[in-house]
Structure 1
C-alpha cells in the first residue's frame, strides 16, 4: 500500500475517534456544532453539550483550549439547563462567535455517576471581508429565486412548453436560461443524502447542514423544538452588520419550510404557531439593528396561523407554539423580551403585524392598489388560508374558463378567488424593499413545483415552473434597475425524479386518448394498456407545439402531441396523460378543508393521487415507495443559475459546489466584493 494512503487513513481514523465519546457514559453524549461546521467571522451560533443522564451531571467546554462559561446548565444537578428532555442533561453557550479565520477546536466533557464522555469538534471560520479592496464592488442586494423541487427536467419541460423546438433547436430561452453563471449544487442534509425543504433551504441561509425537518438549529433533546441550539441566518447576520432588510415571498403557506428556513429557528418545521410568531417577534420591528432579521415583506398563503383560534379556519394552537424563549437565548442573541401574546392560541397576529407597521393585503386587487403608487415601508400579504393555488388554476379563474372536467374553479373552492401570481408578488416585494438604502435579502419561492411533483401532476408542475420563471424575469429587471444586485436561481432539492419520456403519438390525438376505455383493472405485465401504447418515444415524440396566450401560459396543456412525463421516485397513481381537472387537496390547509368530509372532499377533490378519478383515469402505475401517497425527493444535484449587476459576482457560482457553499459565496460577495463589470448582454 502507498505509505501516503496509510497515513491519510490513519489520520482519518484518528479524526473519527476524536468525535466519539472516550467513555461509554453518559449514553448519547453529543457536542454541537458538529465536526466540520463552518461559520463566518463573528457569525453567531450556540454550543450545546448533552447526554442521557444517570443522576446529577456536570460538564465543561473548551474553545481552542480555553474553558468557556456555560450560559445555562446548573452543575451537579439532575435539572441542568431546565429545558432538556426527560432523561437528558444539557449545557449551553448561547450566541457565541469566533473571529479568527481558520480551524478551531471545541472540546467538551460531560460526567454523571457512570463516568465521563469526552467529545471533540473542529469548526472552520471564514472571513467574508477578505479581498474587499482594490476597486471591487459589493453586492448590496441578494435575491434567491428558489424553485422548490426544481431539477433540470422541470426547467427543460417549461422551456419546451413555452417556446417549442424546431429542427432540434429550442425556439427560445427561459429567463433563468439567460443567466451567465451556471453550476451544480449537491443537496444533502446533516442526517441523510436526501434532504427535505427545511435543511435544504437553511443550508443556503446559514452555511450549515441541519437534520431533516429542522430549520436553523442543530439536533438536541429539548422540551420544545424552538429551544434547540441556533445558527445565525444570512438575513440576521447582514441585518446586524449592515442593516439590511429581509423579504420572503412564496406560493406556499408562509409557515412552510422554505420561507421559514430564512428567519425561524426550530427543530420542527410543522409547529406553525411558533413559526409565524417568530417571524414577527424576531423581525426587529423597532429597527434597532442589533438583532433579528429586518423582515419587511412577508407574502404567501397561511392566513390560518395568523387568526385567533376562535376564528373560523384558524389553525393556531398553543401546542405548536412556545410561550417565551430561555433567558440565555434572549441575552445571547440580543433579542427583545418575550411578547405577552407569544404562543397563545388566541393571538391576533394580523393585528400585531399591523401594529408593527406592516400594511396588510389579502387579495390581488388589494396588493396592486397598495403598490400602484408610493409603496409601503412594510408589507404583509396572506392570499389564502393554506397554500396558495397553483398557476394553472389561478389562470383558469382569470380567463373565466373552467378546466375540462371541472365543475367549479379551484380558487373559489379554496375560498381565495382573487390571488396574485408569483411575478406580481415579486414585483410588489421589490417596490417595498427598494426603499431600504442599506440593501436587502429577498427569497422568492415557487413552492408548487415541488408540491405538484409530489402529487405527480406533471401539467401543474410545468405551469408552476412557467410562473416561477416569470418571477425570475422580474428579479433580473430589478437587478438591472437597482445595480449591485446578485440573483441566484436554484432549488433546495429535486422532487419526484421528474423525467421527460416522450410525447403523445396516438392517431387522433387528445380526442382519441379521451375516448379510450379505462385500463384501471389492467394490472398484469403481460397486458399492455392502451394508454401506455400512446407514448411516443425517440422519433415518435417529435416536437410538441403548445399555443401560448397573451398571459404567457398555454391555452391548454392537452394538445395532440403533448409532452409526457414519468416519475422516477413515484408512488401509486392512475395515469391518463390528460390534465387533471382539479388538484389533489393540499396538506397545508385548515382541517375543515381536508379529508373526505371537508370543504374540498365534499366537492370531489382527492386526498392522494391514487384516489383521483380512479375509474376514468387511465392505467394503474405501481409506485416504488412503501406506504407513500406521494412521490418523494431525490438526491440528485440541482442546477444554479447566477446573475449580477455592477460586478462579476455571478462567476462565484460556476462549477460544482456544496449547498452550504452558497451561503459563504453570497456573504463574501456582500462584504468582500467582486470585480466590477456587468454581464455582456449582446446575445440576449
Structure 2
C-alpha cells in the first residue's frame, strides 16, 4: 500500500493538481523547501535540493517548479521521493547548481484531502569578479572577538596617553571595514559552527550545524549539503587549503571550512571526513589528537579503530606534535600538526606562567605566529594560490570561562599573527586578500577600571566615570604583551549573560571554570527556578565554583542572569567588526550579513564555480 501511494506522488510531482478548497479548521499539508527562502548562491556552487511534505492527509500530488519549469527538467535530474518514517515525505536531488546568475523562485505545492498548500523560496544567484583579483585569501577568525574584546587588547597592549591610544592593533589599521550580522536562520544568537559555516558556504544554517540545511531526520549526516569554500577552490581552481587553529582541529570553526554535519560534536567523524580528496586540507594544525587515534589507544575519543593520523601519513603528510618539529617540517609536503589531545593552552599559560600543573607534558606547543608562518610557507608553494583560515580560538573559550585576561592575551597573540601575515603579503606581491573577523560576539563589556588603593574591594572597587583612572599595565620589553596580567589598576570587565559565579576582579593564576554542575532533584530544581523539562527525577544545574573563592580575596557571588542549566558565559547577538586589506577588500563596507564574507572571497578570487579542474 505504501509503495502505491508513494509511486502516485512521484508520478504526479510535476503535474499541477486542481486546487481543492481548504476545509475550515483543518491544516493542509506543510511544505518546507531547502535551501530556505532568501538564500544566496554562487553560480556553479553545488548544493542538495529538498522539499519536505509533512502532516498530509491522504497525499494526492506534489508539484515543484523553479521559475515555472518542472524541477526535474530544470536540474536535469529526477527528484527522488522517500518516506522518512516520521510523517515526512522528502523529494530530493543532490549535487545540483544554478549555472547562471539571476533570480530564481521555487514553488512547491502539496495537495491532500484538506486542500492545497503552497510554499515559495526566492533565491539570488551571483557571479562577480573584482577588478583586481587576489591570488590567495587568508581569513583570520577571532572566535568570539567582539568589539569589546578588541578594545581590551588595544588598551593593555598599546596603552593610552591622556585619553588617546598610543597605537592601534594591526587588524584595526586595515583600510576597509564593516559590521557583520551573525544570526542563523533558526535563532537570533548563533554558535561558532553555524556562523563559521556562513563564512565557508555563503549560506545560513542552524545552531550546531555546518555546511548543511537542517532536515527533519535524526541522522546528523544526511542533511542537504551546500558546497563549502575548501571544496569550491579545490574543484574549480586546484588551490591549496590550510586550516590553522588553537582549538581542536575538528572544532566548530575549522571544521566548518571543510565538513558537513548537523551536529558539530561528531568530531571523530569530521577527522575522518578531512581525508576525502575533494576537500582535504593541505595544512591542518591545532589540538585534538584524541579525535584521530584509534579507540584502542589511551586518550582516544573515537568510536572506532580508524587511525586517521596514519592515513594522513600514507597520503604523504608530515606529522608533527611539537613546535620544534613543526618549524623543522619541510615546506614542500602537506602537514598535519596536532599539538595536544584537546584544545591547546592559551598564551598566558603557555608562554608566561608555564605552570606544569596546567601544561602537563605539552611544554612545546607552537605560538600562533609560527603556526601562521609555517602554514604560509607550505601553502604558497602552490602556483594556483591558496585559502587559509587561521583561528584565534581561545578568545571565545576564555570569555566563556569569564577569564577576560587570558582571552585578551590571546587576542594580542592573534593580532601578532595578523601583523606577520600583512608583512608576508607585502613581501610576496601584495596579491593576498586578508580578512579579520569574529564569528560571533560575547556580552563582555568594560565598565571602567578596578583598584583597591583606597581599601575598597569587590563591587565597591569598580571605578566608573571620573573614578575610572587609567590601568597600570606595563610592558618592559615592548613586545605587546604586558608583563603582569594583574596590575594594581586593572580593567573592570563585566558580563551581560552569565551563570552564578564568584567574582573578585583579579587574575586567576590557574584556569578555573566559573561553575560546577550538580545533579538535583526535581523539587530542588523547581525551588531554584530551573525551567527545564525534567527527565526522570533529577536534572543538572550549574552552581558557582568554590575554587574561584580564595581565602582573603575580595569575592562577590554574582547571581545568574541566564538559566541555571547553563554553566558558562554565553554568546551575544551583537554585530561584530570586520577589517580587510588586499585585492577585493573594497567589497566590505557598511553593515553586511555574515554570508557576504563568502561572496566577498569568491569575488576577490574571481572564482568560476561552474569550472572543474582537469
TM-score range, shorter chain: 0.7 to 0.9
Contact kept in structure 1, 2:134 and 2:431, CA below 8 Å: yes
- Deviation of 1:124 (Å): 0.8
2:372 to 426, 429, 438: 426
Q: Could you say which residue in structure 1 is the equivalent of 2:579?
A: 641
Once residues 113 and 99 of structure 1 are traced to their aligned partners in structure 2, the CA distance between those partners, rounded to angstroms, is 38
TM, length-normalised to structure 1: 0.76
Residue 310 of structure 2 corresponds to residue 351 of structure 1:
yes
Q: Assess, with a 3 A threshold, how the Cα gap between structure 1 residues 306 and 539 changes in structure 2: closer, same or farther.
A: same
Contact kept in structure 1, 2:79 and 2:93, CA below 8 Å: no
Three-state SS of the structure 2 residue aligned to 1:396 is helix
- Deviation of 1:127 (Å): 1.4
Query: Which runs of 5 or more structure 2 residues have no equivalent in the other structure?
Result: 1-20, 519-541, 609-614
Structure 1 or 2: larger strand share? 2
Contact kept in structure 2, 1:505 and 1:541, CA below 8 Å: no
Contact kept in structure 1, 2:80 and 2:93, CA below 8 Å: no
Residue 361 of structure 2 corresponds to residue 410 of structure 1:
no
Contact kept in structure 1, 2:40 and 2:124, CA below 8 Å: yes
**1:65-109 per-position Cα deviation (integer Å, ceiling 9, x unaligned):** 22233968755xxxx16xx36433222111111122221111224
- Deviation of 1:294 (Å): 4.9
Once residues 238 and 504 of structure 2 are traced to their aligned partners in structure 1, the CA distance between those partners, rounded to angstroms, is 53
Matches within 5 A, 1:72-151: 75=81, 80=82, 84=84, 86-110=86-110, 117-129=117-129, 136-151=131-146
- Deviation of 1:138 (Å): 1.1
Q: Assess, with a 3 A threshold, how the Cα gap between structure 1 residues 278 and 59 changes in structure 2: closer, same or farther.
A: farther
Q: Could you say which residue in structure 2 is the equivalent of 1:30?
A: 32
Residue 291 of structure 2 corresponds to residue 305 of structure 1:
yes
Q: Assess, with a 3 A threshold, how the Cα gap between structure 1 residues 312 and 25 changes in structure 2: closer, same or farther.
A: farther
Matches within 5 A, 1:614-633: 614-616=549-551, 618-627=555-564, 628-633=566-571
- Count of residues paired in the alignment: 554
Once residues 256 and 539 of structure 1 are traced to their aligned partners in structure 2, the CA distance between those partners, rounded to angstroms, is 43
Once residues 249 and 228 of structure 2 are traced to their aligned partners in structure 1, the CA distance between those partners, rounded to angstroms, is 17
- Deviation of 1:238 (Å): 2.0
Q: Assess, with a 3 A threshold, how the Cα gap between structure 1 residues 638 and 22 changes in structure 2: closer, same or farther.
A: farther
Once residues 652 and 625 of structure 1 are traced to their aligned partners in structure 2, the CA distance between those partners, rounded to angstroms, is 38
Contact kept in structure 2, 1:41 and 1:125, CA below 8 Å: yes
Q: Assess, with a 3 A threshold, how the Cα gap between structure 1 residues 172 and 357 changes in structure 2: closer, same or farther.
A: same
Contact kept in structure 2, 1:186 and 1:638, CA below 8 Å: yes
Query: Which runs of 5 or more structure 1 residues have no equivalent in the other structure?
Result: 1-20, 285-291, 318-344, 403-407, 513-528, 588-593, 597-606, 674-684
Name the stretch that deviates more: 577-586 or 479-488: 577-586
Contact kept in structure 2, 1:309 and 1:316, CA below 8 Å: yes
- Deviation of 1:464 (Å): 1.2
- Deviation of 1:117 (Å): 4.0
- Deviation of 1:578 (Å): 1.2
Q: Could you say which residue in structure 2 is the equivalent of 1:667?
A: 602
Name the stretch that deviates more: 233-242 or 21-30: 21-30
Q: Assess, with a 3 A threshold, how the Cα gap between structure 1 residues 549 and 376 changes in structure 2: closer, same or farther.
A: farther
Contact kept in structure 2, 1:608 and 1:630, CA below 8 Å: no
**1:115-143 per-position Cα deviation (integer Å, ceiling 9, x unaligned):** 654322111111124xx6xxx32111111
**Root-mean-square deviation (Å):** 2.7
Q: Could you say which residue in structure 1 is the equivalent of 2:17?
A: none
- Deviation of 1:60 (Å): 4.3
Q: Assess, with a 3 A threshold, how the Cα gap between structure 1 residues 85 and 385 changes in structure 2: closer, same or farther.
A: farther
Q: Could you say which residue in structure 2 is the equivalent of 1:451?
A: 397
Once residues 656 and 558 of structure 1 are traced to their aligned partners in structure 2, the CA distance between those partners, rounded to angstroms, is 36
1:470 to 416, 419, 422: 416
1:66 to 50, 69, 83: 69
TM, length-normalised to structure 2: 0.85
Contact kept in structure 2, 1:244 and 1:294, CA below 8 Å: no
Matches within 5 A, 1:149-548: 149-281=144-276, 284=277, 292-317=278-303, 345-370=304-329, 374-396=330-352, 402=355, 408-412=356-360, 415-482=361-428, 483-495=430-442, 497-507=443-453, 530-548=457-475
